[in-house]
Amino acid sequence: MNNLYPADGRVMGSHNGNTPVAGLPQLPSEPVAYSDRPNTFQKLEAFEEHLDAMSDDVLDKATIELRSSINAAHARFALQVRELERRDVPRLDHGLTTTGWLKKYCQMTGAEASGTVKTARAMTHMPTVTTNALAGRVPPRSVQLLSQASARHPGAFQDHEPAFGDVATYLSSTDLRKAIGHWEQQVAYPEVLKDTERRDRLRSLYLAEMMEGMGDVRGTLTPEIFHTLTTAIDARVNPTFLDTDDWRTPAQRRADALGDICSFYLTHNTDTVTSGGERPHVTITLDYDVLKGHVERLAEINGAPVTPETMRRITCDAGIIPMVLGSDSEPLDVGRKTRTIPSALRRALEQRDQGCVWQGCGAPVSWCDAHHIIHWADGGETSLANTQLLCRTHHTATHKQERSPPHY
């Protein structure tokens, strides 16, 4: 194994922890005060100057070479961990398991340390993969995936290890994982089928209402459900249909997209009904004076407050039934379907507007709400002349009065 290590002998053997290790920088025995560290900043400035002096071609090649060096360093590290374990250094010198030693002295989490030990052990049985990894041609994640495949099917893997060692040099870890999955179906189909069925049984979805009415959504989805969900959400957050000055974070866009998809289902689904024979809907509760803007108070959904622009936006929507309360918080009127957007009017809107009418947007009709130009709370009619299609982003912006969409 000596030929797998650098020629200068930088291999960690058994030592008492105080003996310097050849080739490694030595840390000071006492903490260094912040004011005593000018060299740190000098080195950083020197490195930045070094980067500035690089041409684009040199920087391109140097970065690729650095990534290769990191890959090789990961492989050397795993082999040294294996050698430490072979010599029993963690137990003899420190009273620790190899995993425990990595956690204490290499600042690894338990999962990282355990995974490193397993990968290091598997590399003994993967000579082609290991050789290519030491040359920097196989990234650490790919080495880990192959070590796991070797552990699951040791006999079959040995027959195909040279081929895996080759493809791992040019496949991404994602593509390599898929290739391993296809290979496993060929060499151990019954086991793969059983494991797939087991994973399907793990599917779950938890919905919990938290403080202030916010919701916590967690779950584990099958590949089919997850792909369906991500495809639908990605279609809603396509940058092509978003403003360049959209202030929402990617996570906020995905959350809004999930709500839009559910709202679209409630609005357009004609099969699902409640026990009363009505299609499912969301009820927003607000005082009449709040709706008219006479008092500063928030509307509520299921007892949780919502912003004024949210209230005015969703009361335009066909899937929302507003419940208006009088001064004594008694129901004054429950919005009728005729007060919102009938399906015939929605179809006419889609035919006329062809999507969001906000200049430069062009979001498709499936993204859009029907917006009252003059809000019905202000006497506006539910008619083709007083309605238009706006996507969620621009519908909200309109009710925030940031800008106004074109009127017909």
Question: Each residue of 335-364: pLDDT tens digit?
Answer: 334 445 777 777 778 878 888 888 878 788
- Residues 46, 191, single domain; the answer is yes
Buried b / exposed e along 180-192 (16+ C-beta atoms within 10 A): beebbeebeeeeb
**What does the pLDDT average to over 215-234?**
89
- Looking at 225, 242, 268, the residue that finishes a domain is 268
Considering the domain architecture, whether residues 176 and 224 belong to the same structural domain is answered as no
Beta pairing class for 304-306 and 215-220: unpaired
Do residue 157 and residue 239 come from a single domain?
no
In a domain, 143, yes or no: yes
Residues 131 and 230 in one domain: no
- Domain membership of residue 290 (yes or no) is no
Using the 3D structure, point to which of 222, 249, 268 is the last residue of a domain: 268
Helix, strand, coil percentages in the chain from 3-state DSSP, rounded to 5: 55, 10, 35
Q: Flag the least confident range among 4-13, 67-76, 373-382.
A: 4-13
Task: Pull the structure tokens for residue 375.
Answer: 């809000």
Predicted confidence at residue 347, as pLDDT, reads 75
- Note whether 126 and 244 are same-domain residues: no
| 283: in domain | no
Q: What is the pLDDT of residue 9?
A: 38
Is residue 124 within 8 Å of residue 48, measured between CB atoms? no
Q: Verify that 71 and 166 share a domain, yes or no.
A: yes
Q: Are both 183 and 232 inside the same structural domain?
A: no
Assess if residue 148 is contained within a domain. Answer: yes
* Same domain (yes/no): 45, 132: yes
Residue 43: predicted pLDDT: 81
Residues 67 and 155 reside in one and the same domain:
yes
Q: Give domain status of residue 205, yes or no.
A: no
Query: Does residue 109 fall inside a structural domain?
Result: yes
pTM of the model: 0.54
Greatest extent of the chain over all pairs of C-alpha atoms, in Å: 86
What confidence score (pLDDT) does residue 26 get?
A: 44
- Per-position DSSP letters for 41-89, written without gaps between them: HHHHHHHHHHHHHS-HHHHHHHHHHHHHHHHHHHHHHHHHHHHHHHHTH
pLDDT for 13 beyond 80: no
85 and 9, same structural domain?
Answer: yes
pLDDT tens-place string over residues 121-173: 999 999 999 999 999 999 999 999 999 999 999 999 999 999 999 999 999 99
Number of independent structural domains in the chain = 2
Residues 52-56: what's their mean pLDDT?
90
44 lies in the same domain as 10: yes
Residues 97 and 221 in one domain: no
Is residue 81 in a domain?
A: yes
Residues spanned by the domain of 150 = 2-14+35-199
296-349 pLDDT per residue, tens: 667 666 666 677 666 666 665 544 444 445 544 444 443 334 445 777 777 778
Asked whether residue 284 is domain-assigned, the answer is: no
| Per-residue pLDDT at 287 | 66
pLDDT confidence band for 211 (50 / 70 / 90): confident
